Chains A and B, each alone.
Chain A
């Protein structure tokens, strides 16, 4: 039965406690920092989309220069604190750590990064000075990681920034789309405030492109525009029964979790989650943590093709989630308007598709499981209509950009999920930086 308030408050607290807890104190951080070999042209840096000078910031922890350490992180990645909590580091920096080659535990880069960057946030260290205004104005659409990152770089150079955000909080999917045991809403707000505390950055909330303002208006009022509005609704399954009560999409489910208290979010007893990306894992584990008895992840390919990392998969397994590989939903059966069963096709792997992964092929055989809730985590679709309306060149709704991040419209640049269709937070931060660099050169600053 789908209902909220299934657990006692202590249980919620325990279930949603920080999964990557910070170091207790400076000694603990320094012990780990001192393990770092300080590699030259370090493989960890090559694993970071924002190219943080990781050995340098780690050595700065060891030398008691935590301020310098935070600056080293933020100069490359202004969302270094958030990334330290949500990055799938096992496939990025930590995955490249040379200790892996010795069969030793890699350096806990994320926790060290969290140590310095959280100190900077908590103590509100002023690590950057804004150059005096150069009299140029840039509009940014979307206050997510790409938008904030772009804003910070530009504002440092004396550009006056206005960010238009459709929600009433900044942070984008960091704020609205990530499991609560990774980042809390308070943290996301602090991080956004810390970034905008540089000055020269005004965020206008509840302002949606195409509804509250148009691209033409921005082009007229500003010297350049950066589009960083991300992606939209979860893709539809397009199967019978999708409208039944109890079928929800993962992003809305997680959004609710972030916006309301844990006890106010309804969850079923038997939950099926469709998909095997990070969002699917976040939805599955959090369903379990909200009190669902059985949670089953359903994925049409195998473990070799799954988009989430092994580490994420382990979180789901440790939470007791079941996984059915090679299964695709074909029908949701209900009674009285409510979800009762999920019918799936058994799949097998065929030829590699455009993504290079072997594509799932229907065997014609089906099976049925009893469920009372279905969560769709099959990826988010780009804002194809919106982009089409403004005549922005795109590929299936993903904005097409040139090497310098410019779109087909002069003075309009883009980056982040709106361009790549949905990647990690850290990729969006890098896209924001790249956009800023191009805008600076466009403006001749």
Chain B
């Protein structure tokens, strides 16, 4: 049985699964339920200046019958009194001393407010602080949240204030609502942030009610841009995480990965791209805290199969495989192969290739079942047929190198090799 325990800057948790700063971590009742269910830690919902939430606040994107592929919220930071939150944090720490307790913060934009808030939170005995530089709605208008994270200079200034006061590890949470997360990431690391986390939510409009013409969520006939998260954002989050893992400044600090993690596989992917811990919200909001069981069991079984004893054995393992396009091997060529024994004759590969790709699949008419075969000489190896095929391992991509030699684009140009003639 693999060891799932996680040590994030000395913050220890029995597993790398933390609940992200969000509604599930807003109060003691929820957090105790999460700890009872087995979650490794929580990032307590952001504390800071006093706010008031609107009523209707969530909306979602459903896809092909699957609910909440993407999730959107216009909720602000905790709207409960600070004293109540601090008292409850202390109680949770006392009842579950082995779990990670990180508190998310977003003070008013001045040194004094940050220093006072940090002092109060540290008094609870919390293990770490997470700076919310990412919230994309409500707080930005007041110069907080993403308004800080989007400007590396302001972010740097605030982190410097924080580091003057903080005695426990500080994680800076980055906003994805930027061209690149690297400038802000470098800036806050240089300013002393001990770690990074990402992504916060992405600004979005999830949809519009076609009867009322009001976008979702409808707040009395009006709406605002919200923050998008859930499975739909995972690929974007992974890419942003990878850019931090590749950068010489930001890859010196641990990173907590966030963004659409729903299964143990998602979590492993974040960790393979450099995350030391992962944070989950939408999946728990959709299914409840019980999902922690399979998150742990799935990761553990996978680690056993791969021979990884601890999570440190695989964190960052995929980072070196991400390269620049110019370095990809042009001589690596794959050709699709359809296993006729597995084929169910749905024709999805054919129509995808015929209409939108390279006309590389032959259709032999049959009643009721057509036969589909690959035209090897036409197939460019794009993977499209393999991706749309509904049957596992029916279409495989087989390697047929153009040549044994590794050849990249730069070398290809240098040699003046011929381009495609179609």
Residues of A within 8 A of B (CB): 30-31, 33-34, 37-44, 46-47, 62, 96, 98-99, 101-102
Q: Which residue of B lies closest to A46 (CB)?
A: B368
- Some 28 contacts from A to B, beta carbons below 8 A apart, are A33-B65, A34-B64, A34-B65, A37-B390, A38-B348, A39-B346, A39-B347, A39-B348, A40-B348, A40-B350, A40-B351, A41-B347, A41-B363, A41-B370, A42-B347, A43-B368, A43-B369, A44-B368, A46-B367, A46-B368, A62-B64, A62-B65, A96-B368, A96-B369, A98-B344, A98-B345, A98-B346, A102-B391
**A97–chain B nearest beta-carbon distance, Å:** 9
| Residues in A neighbouring B391, C-beta threshold 8 A | 102
Chain B residues near A40: list those with CB within 8 A. Answer: 346-348, 350-351
Residues from chain B with Cβ under 8 Å of A102 in the complex:
344, 391
**A115 to B34 alpha-carbon distance, docked (Å):** 43
Task: Return B395 CB to nearest CB of chain A, in Å.
Answer: 14
Contact B64 A37 (CB under 8 A): no
Q: In the complex the two chains form, what is the Cα distance from A42 to B345 in whole Å?
A: 8
Q: Which residues of B contact A41 (CB under 8 A)?
A: 347, 363, 370
Query: Quick one: closest A residue to B390, CB to CB?
Result: A37
Known: A30-B65, A62-B64. A37 touches B348 (CB 8 A): yes
Residues of B within 8 A of A (CB-CB), count:
16
> Which of B345, B347, B350, B363 touches A101 (beta carbons < 8 Å)?
B345
Contact: B64 with A43, CB < 8 Å? no
In the bound assembly, the distance between CA atoms of A118 and B162 in angstroms comes to: 66
Give 1 or 0 for each of B147-180: 1 = CB within 8 Å of chain A CB. 0000000000000000000000000000000000
Q: When the two chains form the complex, which single residue of B345, B348, B390 contacts A43, counting CB atoms closer than 8 Å?
A: B345
CB distance from B67 to the nearest CB of A (A): 11
Chain B residue numbers with a CB within 8 Å of A44 are: 368
* Cα distance, A47 to B390, chains bound together (Å): 21
A439–B26 alpha-carbon span in the complex (Å): 74
Enumerate chain A residues within 8 angstroms of B64, measured Cβ to Cβ: 34, 62
Residue among B64, B65, B350, B351 facing the most chain A CB atoms (10 A cut-off): B65
Once the chains are docked, how many angstroms separate the CA of A39 from the CA of B368? 12
Chain B nearest CB from A437 CB (Å) reads 22
**Residues of chain A within 8 A of B368, CB atoms compared:** 43-44, 46-47, 96
Q: Which residues of B contact A30 (CB under 8 A)?
A: 65
A44's nearest neighbour on chain B, judged by CB, is B368
For the A-B complex with A31-B65, A43-B368 known, give 20 more contacts whose Cβ atoms are closer than 8 Å: A30-B65, A33-B65, A38-B348, A40-B346, A40-B347, A40-B348, A40-B350, A40-B351, A41-B347, A41-B363, A42-B347, A43-B369, A46-B368, A62-B64, A96-B368, A96-B369, A98-B345, A98-B346, A101-B345, A102-B344
Most buried by A among B347, B350, B391: B347
| Cα of A98 to Cα of B363 in the assembled complex, Å | 16
Return chain B residues, CB-CB under 8 Å to A31: 65
Chain A residue with Cβ nearest B355: A40
Q: Within 8 Å CB of A42, what residues of B?
A: 346-347
Shortest distance from the beta carbon of B339 to any chain A beta carbon, whole Å: 13
Interface residues of B (CB under 8 A from A): 64-65, 344-348, 350-351, 363, 367-370, 390-391
CB closest chain-B residue, reference A100: B344
Looking at A33, A40, A44, the one whose CB has the most chain B CB atoms below 10 A away is A40
Indicate the member of A33, A46, A98, A99 with the most B CB atoms within 10 Å: A98
| Chain A positions within 8 Å of B346 at CB level | 37, 39-40, 42, 98
Counting from the closest, the 5 A-B pairs by CB-CB distance are A40-B347, A34-B65, A43-B368, A40-B351, A98-B344
Instruction: List the B residue with the shortest CB-CB distance to A99.
Output: B344
Q: How far is the CB of B321 from chain A (nearest CB, A)?
A: 33
CB distance from B319 to the nearest CB of A (A): 37
Which of A33, A34, A101 has the most CB atoms of chain B within a 10 A radius of its CB? A101
Docked Cα-Cα span, A43 to B64, in Å, equals 22
> B124 to nearest A CB, angstroms?
45
Closest chain-B Cβ to A95's Cβ sits at a distance in Å of: 9
- Give, as a whole number of angstroms, the nearest-CB distance from A293 to chain B: 43
Residues of A within 8 A of B363 (CB): 41
| Bound CA span A62–B65, Å | 8
A33 to B64, CA, bound (A): 9
CB nearest neighbor in B for A104: B344
Kindly state the separation between the CA atoms of A34 and B69 in the bound complex, as whole angstroms: 15
B369 / chain A contacts, CB cutoff of 8 Å: 43, 96
CB neighbours (8 Å) of B350 from chain A are 40
Bound complex: CA A102 to CA B345 (Å): 11
**Cα distance A99–B346 when bound, in Å?**
9
For residue B391, give the distance in angstroms from its CB to the closest CB of chain A: 7
The docked-state distance in angstroms from the alpha carbon of A101 to that of B367 is 15
Distance in angstroms from B363 CB to nearest chain A CB is 7
Cα of A42 to Cα of B348 in the assembled complex, Å: 10
How many angstroms between the C-alpha atoms of A34 and B65 in the bound complex?
6
**Nearest-CB distance from A51 to chain B (Å)?**
12
CB proximity of B30 to chain A, nearest CB, Å: 29
Q: Please report the C-alpha to C-alpha distance between residue A34 and residue B62 in the assembled complex, in whole angstroms.
A: 12
- Chain B residues within an 8 Å CB radius of A96: 368-369
**Distance, CA A33 to CA B344, complexed state (A):** 19
- In the bound complex, residues from chain B placing their C-beta under 8 Å from that of A46 are 367-368
Shortest distance between the CB of B370 and any CB in chain A (Å)? 6
Complex Cα distance, B369 from A37, in Å, reads 15
Q: Pick the contact of B344 from A34, A38, A62, A101 — CB < 8 Å?
A: A101
Measured CB to CB, the nearest residue on chain B to A41 is B347
Complex CA distance for A164 and B343, rounded to whole angstroms: 50
Find chain B residues with CB under 8 A from A37 CB: 346, 348, 390
Bound together, the chains give a CA A99 to CA B368 distance in angstroms of: 13
In the complex, chain B residues whose CB is within 8 Å of the CB of A38: 348
Residues of A within 8 A of B367 (CB): 46
B345–chain A nearest beta-carbon distance, Å: 6
Bound form: Cα–Cα A30–B350 in Å: 26
Q: Which residue of A lies closest to B354 (CB)?
A: A40
Cα-based distance from A39 to B369 in the complex (angstroms): 11
State the CA gap A43–B343 with chains docked (Å): 13
When distances are taken between beta carbons in the complex, the residues of chain B under 8 Å from A62 are 64-65
Cα A291 to Cα B230 in complex, Å, equals: 58
For B363, B368, B390, the residue with the greatest tally of chain A CB atoms inside 10 Å of its CB is B368
Q: Which residues of the partner chain B approach A33 to less than 8 Å between Cβ atoms? A: 65
Complex alpha-carbon distance, A42 and B391, angstroms: 16
Q: Which residues of A contact B65 (CB under 8 A)?
A: 30-31, 33-34, 62
> A428 vs B348: C-alpha distance in the bound complex, in angstroms?
32
Nearest opposing residue in chain A for B64, CB measure: A34
Q: How far is the CA of A127 from the CA of B405 in the complex (A)?
A: 63
Q: How far is the CB of A69 from chain B (nearest CB, A)?
A: 16
Residues of B within 8 A of A34 (CB): 64-65
State the CA gap A285–B344 with chains docked (Å): 36
Residue of A nearest to B347 (CB): A40
The closest CB in chain A to the CB of B352 belongs to A40
Considering only CB atoms, which chain B residue lies closest to A32 in the complex?
B65
Q: Once bound together, how far apart are the Cα atoms of A44 and B347, in whole Å?
A: 12
Contact partners of A43 in chain B: CB under 8 A:
345, 368-369
Residues of A within 8 A of B390 (CB): 37
Tell me, rounded to whole Å, the shortest Cβ–Cβ distance linking B137 to chain A.
29
Kindly list chain A residues whose C-beta atoms are within 8 Å of the C-beta of B348: 37-40
User: In the docked arrangement, what's the CA distance between A38 and B370, Å?
Assistant: 15
What CA separation (Å) do A101 and B346 show in the bound complex? 10
Q: Nearest residue in A to B388 (C-beta to C-beta)?
A: A37
Best-surrounded residue of A42, A43, A46, A96 (most CB of chain B within 10 A): A43
Q: Least Cβ distance of B209 to chain A in Å?
A: 13
Bound-state Cα–Cα, A102 to B342, Å:
9
> Shortest beta-carbon distance, A273 to chain B, in Å?
32
Interface centre among B344, B350, B351, B367 (most CB of A within 10 A): B344
